[in-house]
Amino acid sequence: MLSPVRLLPLIGSLLSLVSGLPTTNPSSVVLPPSADPFYSAPNGYESTRPGAILRLRPVPGNLTALVGNASAAYNIVYRTTDSQYRPSWAVTTVFVPSNPRPGNTSVLSYQIAYDSHSIDASPSYAMYSSPPIDVTLALSQGWYVNVPDYEGPLASFTAGVQSGHATLDSIRSILNSNTTAFNIKTSSSRTALWGYSGGALASEWATELQVQYAPELSLAGAALGGLTPNITNVMNTVTGNLNAGLIPEAVLGLASQYPATYKYLVDQLNPEGKYNRTTFLLSQNMTIAQAEAFFAGQNIYDYFVNGSDTFKAPVVQYALNRDGYMGYHGVPQIPIYAYKAIHDEVSPVGDTDALLERYCGVGVNILYERNSIGGHSAEGTNGHARALQFVSSVLDGSYASVYQTQGCTFRDVAVNITDSAL
């Protein structure tokens, strides 16, 4: 069998012969998505099936070297479905491990928390400046790694249905039989999902949507850290604190899926004064780090004429009820490992408790660990090793010998790796 490295020079001709897909040659120039014509869908893509590959290219620049442990990496533009169940598209990056695990192919779909309403914050581009260590670690295990830009072309941060669909369709795309360059043995592959915070948002929505949207996918399990089940409660929790910058990104991101909601919210912003429309809309071109630095400590509701009552309007509630609350679109069919800081200052732990209790009541297999030490950011580190252990077990087939395979286990733990209260 040809190795991924030997296949790299053949990728253009291979895909042209097998599937007629538009391809581009590797480039040393790395453009932001807003300036890169690759980030688009060809005419007529709407008639293709969700998960269909629309474009494929070897990643430009030196991303493979930056991440490490990868023999090749590719960008895929694929067909997906937005929050209103209309045809859409998204981009994912798939990494081929330098030493694939023999036997069953293991695929980790790793959803990065990018939490921004700017398409230029998408992981396929952001990874060049901040290569994720989890991807490097996963590749060292011999796993293929899928990293989707799950917010889609509108950068719809917090739009749960969009994020879940795009995550599932990214997995469909890399398991597509035409993508033989990856050497993924689809008949014997195991696929797991992992994400923290915003990445867990996409991962959780994928697990609850799968049963009705992508029932043919055989997923092995999902590790979900720092869940944010209720967007309204997140906004009420973070306004005025260091994470207040999440709110403009979330408001514009979710509303981007609902034009009437978007127009209403923008019209409700103060036209002048200290907290005004122009300042709020600066967030459209910010990364989450920039937004949190810029809006830190501000009461974001002060930007709106009617304050927090703005979000009680029917046109806003419509979008929130469809896209902002987990647990109402389906029941996960796979084992779940959830980890959460009891003192999470972004999303109240009670929201995650309630979500997982609801799932437990309908038969989902869950291990839920609530950490009494640290906050939202710290738990990303404090829970890391436990999440990686869970993902490893579902991918190597040892899950049943390590974990309880039926029912739920909820327990409090005290794990302190970061020595951080945040």
Q: What are phi and psi of 42, to 5 degrees?
A: -70, 160
Residues 264 and 219 in one domain: no
CA angle 176, 177, 178 (to 5 degrees): 90
SS3 411: strand
pLDDT 10s digit of each residue in the chain, 422 long? 333 333 333 333 333 333 344 445 556 789 999 999 999 999 999 999 999 999 999 999 999 999 999 999 999 999 999 999 999 999 999 999 999 988 778 999 999 999 999 999 999 999 999 999 999 999 999 999 999 999 999 999 999 999 999 999 999 999 875 555 677 777 778 999 999 999 999 999 999 999 999 999 999 999 999 999 999 999 999 999 999 999 999 999 999 999 999 999 999 999 999 999 999 999 999 999 999 999 999 999 999 999 999 999 999 999 999 999 999 999 999 999 999 999 999 999 999 999 999 999 999 999 999 999 999 999 999 999 999 999 999 999 999 999 989 999 999 999 999 766 66
221 contacts 335 by C-beta, under 8 angstroms? yes
The CATH number assigned to the domain holding 220 equals 3.40.50.1820
Residues 176 and 193 in one domain: yes
Does residue 149 have an active-site annotation? no
Measured in whole angstroms, the distance separating CA 182 from the mean position of its chain's CA atoms is 22
Beta bridge partners of 196: 225
Residues 378 and 401 in one domain: yes
Residues 316 and 337 in one domain: no
The span from the CA of 410 to the CA of 422, in Å, is: 23
**Domain annotation covers residue 379:** yes
DSSP letter, residue 51: T
Q: Is 74 exposed, middle or buried (0-12, 13-18, 19+ CB in 10 A)?
A: buried
Residues 156 and 166 in one domain: yes
Which of the following is catalytic: 197, 203, 283, 393? 197
**Domain annotation covers residue 208:** yes
In one-letter notation, the amino acid at residue 196 is Y
**How many domains does one find in the chain?**
2
Q: Is 405 exposed, middle or buried (0-12, 13-18, 19+ CB in 10 A)?
A: exposed
Q: What are phi and psi of 238, to 5 degrees?
A: -90, -15
**Domain annotation covers residue 235:** yes
Residues 240 and 206 in one domain: no
SS3 367: strand
Beta bridge partners of 56: 23, 76
**Domain boundary residue, one of 303, 323, 343:** 323
pTM score, whole prediction: 0.92
For residue range 25-71, list pLDDT tens digits in order. Answer: 556 789 999 999 999 999 999 999 999 999 999 999 999 999 999 99
SS3 368: strand
**Domain annotation covers residue 65:** yes
**Domain annotation covers residue 378:** yes
Residues 245 and 138 in one domain: no
The span from the CA of 247 to the CA of 250, in Å, is: 5
SS (H, E, C) 289-325: HHHHHHHCCCCHHHHECCHHHHHHCHHHHHHHHHHCE
Nearest to 151 by CA among 254, 19, 296, 29: 254
Residues 400 and 301 in one domain: no
How confident is the model at residue 6, as a pLDDT? 33
**Domain boundary residue, one of 323, 340, 365:** 323
Nearest to 90 by CA among 28, 159, 137: 159
Residues 220 and 358 in one domain: yes
The CATH number assigned to the domain holding 315 equals 1.10.260.130
Q: Which two tokens mark 419?
A: 């020595």
- Cα separation values, 405 from 59, 163, 203, 286, 344, Å: 39, 28, 20, 43, 28
**Domain annotation covers residue 421:** no
CA angle 339, 340, 345 (to 5 degrees): 160
Residues 313 and 342 in one domain: no
User: For the chain, how are helix, strand and coil distributed in percent, rounded to 5?
Assistant: 40, 20, 40
Residues 151 and 238 in one domain: no
**Domain annotation covers residue 30:** yes
**Domain annotation covers residue 422:** no
Q: Which residues contact 265 (CB under 8 A, 6 or more apart)?
A: 251, 252, 255, 304, 310, 316
Residues 262 and 151 in one domain: no
For residue range 301-350, list pLDDT tens digits in order. Answer: 999 999 999 999 999 999 999 999 999 999 999 999 999 999 999 999 99
Return the number of other C-beta atoms located less than 10 Å from residue 16's C-beta.
12
Domain that holds residue 140: 4-229+328-413
Does residue 376 have an active-site annotation? yes
How confident is the model at residue 101, as a pLDDT? 86
**Domain boundary residue, one of 274, 289, 323:** 323
Does residue 169 have an active-site annotation? no
- Cα separation values, 268 from 124, 254, 309, 313, 361, Å: 34, 16, 11, 11, 41
Which of the following is catalytic: 163, 376, 393, 396? 376
